[in-house]
């Protein structure tokens, strides 16, 4: 979850970083104004062993279909 340009504190738990080992993380947010800032870089530092891709920021009014299309492309990469 990205909120006001940064990942949320849940990612900073004692053992959370290890949960992402071998996983792909694609940060994204919907927003009326703020972007995703350095979230990708920050997540890469926390989640050792994970592949962190460049994320995206979508306008708050993005359609569900467009968001599903974008996420679906990442799901196909993961298969």
**Greatest C-alpha distance within the chain:** 36
Q: Which residue has the higher pLDDT, 33 or 14?
A: 33
33: DSSP letter:
S
Q: Region 63-70: what's the mean pLDDT?
A: 93
pTM as predicted: 0.70
pLDDT score of 68: 92
Cβ atoms of 35 and 1 closer than 8 Å: no
4: left (phi over 0), alpha (psi -120 to 50) or beta: left
User: What are the tens digits of pLDDT across the range 28-55?
Assistant: 888 777 778 788 888 888 888 889 898 8
pLDDT score of 62: 92
Q: Is 44 helix (H, G, I), strand (E, B) or coil?
A: helix
Q: Which of 29, 27, 10 lies closest to 19, judged by CA?
A: 10
Q: Region 46-66: what's the mean pLDDT?
A: 89
Q: Region 9-35: what's the mean pLDDT?
A: 73
Q: What are phi and psi of 34, to 5 degrees?
A: -85, 155
């Amino acid at each position: 979850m990205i909120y006001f340009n940064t990942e949320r504190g849940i990612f900073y738990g004692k053992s959370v970083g290890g949960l992402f080992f071998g996983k792909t993380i694609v940060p994204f947010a919907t927003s009326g104004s703020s972007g995703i800032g350095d979230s990708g870089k920050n997540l890469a530092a926390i989640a050792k062993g994970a592949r962190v891709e460049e994320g995206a920021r979508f306008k708050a009014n993005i359609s569900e279909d467009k968001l599903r299309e974008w996420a679906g492309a990442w799901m196909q990469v993961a298969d």
